[in-house]
Structure 1
Amino acid sequence: MIALFNKFRLGLSSIYITLAILATSVSLVSCSKDDELEIQNNFPFEVNVMPVPKEVANGQTVEIRITIQRSGNYSGTQYFLRYFQFDGEGTLRCFDDPAYLPNDLYPLPAAQFRLYYTAASAVSQSFDVWISDSFGNERKVSFQFNSSD
């Protein structure tokens, strides 16, 4: 009788072990990569620019108001600016910062900001401003000012 009880107890132990292995397997399979919760932190954006004058004189400064419109908000997103001037000569700066150098990357302090372009020649002025974020999204805004001299 004791031998039969020991066999029964041994049989129950193996059933418990099998159930524990089965439960662990099911929980591991249910946590597969396909079922993971995705957290989106890459939000594309648009750039809105207030109207600017069509003409600029040599030495004149034009204010350019820009707003970055985000499709979502991720607090870790950083925005950057670079510009390329291909007609005329001038300087571009943000607030009271020193003048930007063409093709250099500058961090933007906020989603709403003002750029100041100062013409340094009496011919038409053309330049592009590229705004990018820390996830590789980019937007180009082109500016062209006719000479008023």
Structure 2
Amino acid sequence: MEFKEAVEFLFEKLAPSKIMALASSVDNHVMVRNVSCLIYDDAIYFKTDKNFRKTKQLYENPRVALCFSGIQVEGVATIKGLVTEEPERKFEKLYQKYLWGSYNAYSHEDTEILVEVKPSFVEIWDTDEKNKAYQIFIDFDKKEVEYKKYDE
């Protein structure tokens, strides 16, 4: 499997939205919580309140991991500003489309910020058509991919 094919496989498995576990850490204090994510433009996006503990952690240490099912994404989180300030308001439109309940309940425009996670390393566990397990490791920095059979 080539790098480009692996990246497409990753984003196809995640898009358009997933509830993912977000892990962050500051001063050896690790936290994990679920966030409602949208996947577009080769990144993972979520919104959160600018006053939450996780936001303070992200400012201090932007290195995070996100997990959904057999997919773990390691990356760097960038706070992009208020959700309503995103050019073309793409996140807001997609959030309303795919995560209506959350959009309707948590649309505090003055405190909701947009967070972008660009993957740096991804590990995918999956099974093939014969139900044999395999792993795919995607290194975004080196633009390399490794496919490894788990069940021989």
Q: Give the TM-score range, shorter chain.
A: under 0.3
Larger helix fraction of residues: 2
User: TM-score normalized by structure 2?
Assistant: 0.26
User: TM-score normalized by structure 1?
Assistant: 0.26
Larger strand fraction of residues: 2
Bigger-Rg structure (1/2): 1
